[in-house]
Amino acid sequence: MRTIEWCDGAVRLIDQRRLPHEEIWHTYGSYQGVARAIVEMQIRGAPAIGAAAAYGVALAALASPAQTPAALQADLDEALRVLAATRPTAVNLFWALERMRTVAQAALASGVDVARAALVAEARAIADEDVETNRRMAEFGAALIADGMSLLTHCNAGALATVDIGTTLGVIHAAHEAGKRIHVYVDETRPFLQGARLTAWELMRWGVPLTLITDNMAGHFISRGKVNLVMTGADRIAANGDTANKIGTYTLGVLAHENGVPLYIVAPTTTIDLGIATGADIPIEERSPREVTHICDVPIAPAGVPVANPAFDVTPHRYIAGIVTEQGIVYPPFGVGLRRVVREA
């Protein structure tokens, strides 16, 4: 299913905070609304955030009363600034915004009406391309999964994290559809429970056999030979292959490496940031303490307790067996291969 759509000059998206118990959709007619939806995790997942931000820029263009290119450019610059401030780690956000900025600058030379139409078309193209990108990644990644394998995944990297199909879950779905007998261990993914709420929901809809586990059970199952492959998505990949993903992925990388289980990352080339050398340069978002102290608005910790809540961690490239992209699978050493797939894309 498409988790974000353009509908008659507005953006319609599923509220992922309400899943799995309610399927609620919201419609936004302003870039400010889209920005709030990103910040508040109504929509999440690096590719989905990028598509949503692109649609936000298109909304800004349509809503602007500007009659001159200079005035419209000023309104777009403000929208780009607000949208860029929503989530600092996912590089797809900045890739999509830069692509929209480039289109705007070129189209404004032909007038404000041309620019508005061009920005709507470009946002829709970004969303459509994401679907095709995920389909190609699914084909490459499914080849890594043999009949009878058990996989472990973390967070949610399915259709909900993209426009449709998904990255990691797209691979798993493709293997399942091919008739391979697979089983998936799903990390609950504290503190926001994307695994328990979202990944489990998606896999159950598809009929993929799964077992939900707490994050601190992963080492137990890996060490006992229950897991053949660990597979996750990514929010940003540095030029050397270091990968930022949902907090807890680094732990899985160490556990998998210690027990001889390969870890594969599934991510589009838009998640690769060749502008940063290593994972040490990736900004890590710090989110609200309430996500840690409460579950579904129920307090679970003493009032006033100090809290740290980094949303992501960085897995060093030495723990990663390969990176699945829409241009193929990149194996170590990652530097040359990542530059190649970005160039080809």
pLDDT, one tens digit per residue, over 138-155 is 999 999 999 999 999 999
| Protein fold of 136-344 | Rossmann fold (3.40.50)
DSSP string, 95-143: HHHHHHHHHHHHHGGG-HHHHHHHHHHHHHHHHHHHHHHHHHHHHHHHT
Q: 90 with 155: CB under 8 angstroms?
A: no
Per-residue model confidence (pLDDT) at position 87? 87
Per-residue model confidence (pLDDT) at position 79? 96
Per-residue model confidence (pLDDT) at position 296? 83
Distance separating alpha carbons of residues 242 and 54, to the nearest angstrom: 26
Residue 305 burial (10 A CB sphere; 0-12, 13-18, 19+):
exposed
* Weakest mean pLDDT among 91-95, 138-142, 147-151, 312-316: 91-95
Dihedral sign for Cα atoms in the order 149, 154, 159, 165: negative
* Reported confidence tier of residue 91, pLDDT bands at 50, 70, 90: confident
Q: Measured at the alpha carbon of residue 269, what is the angle toward residues 234 and 260, in degrees to the nearest 5?
A: 50
**Domain boundaries defined on the chain:** 4-135, 136-344
Per-residue model confidence (pLDDT) at position 92? 87
Decide if pLDDT at 28 tops 80. Answer: yes
Q: Is 281 a catalytic residue?
A: no
Active-site annotation holder among 235, 242, 273, 313: 235
**Percent of the chain, pLDDT > 90?**
94
Classify 166 as helix, strand or coil: strand
φ and ψ at residue 344, rounded to 5 degrees: -65, -35
Nearest alpha carbon to residue 152 among 130, 120, 184:
184
List all residues 6 or more positions away from 56 whose beta carbon is below 8 Å from its beta carbon: 11, 31, 34, 35, 79, 83
List all residues 6 or more positions away from 194 whose beta carbon is below 8 Å from its beta carbon: 44, 155, 156, 246
Classify 174 as helix, strand or coil: helix
Per-residue model confidence (pLDDT) at position 75? 96
φ and ψ at residue 49, rounded to 5 degrees: -60, -40
How many residues make up the chain in this entry?
345
Per-residue model confidence (pLDDT) at position 266? 97
Q: 233 with 46: CB under 8 angstroms?
A: yes
Per-residue model confidence (pLDDT) at position 46? 84
First CA to last CA distance, the chain: 25
DSSP string, 269-329: GGGEETT-SSGGGS---B--THHHHEETTEE-S-TT-----BSEEEE-GGG-SEEEETTEE
Decide if pLDDT at 1 tops 80. Answer: no
Q: 294 with 300: CB under 8 angstroms?
A: yes
DSSP structure class, residue 267: -
Bridge partner list, 145: none
Q: What is the pLDDT of residues 194-215, one digit of tens each?
A: 999 999 999 999 999 999 999 9
Distance separating alpha carbons of residues 9 and 105, to the nearest angstrom: 21
Query: What is the per-residue burial (b if ≥16 Cβ within 10 Å, else e) of 177-200?
Result: eeeeebbbbbbbbbbbbbbbbbbb
Statement: 4-135 belongs to CATH 1.20.120.420: yes
**Percent of the chain, pLDDT > 70?**
100
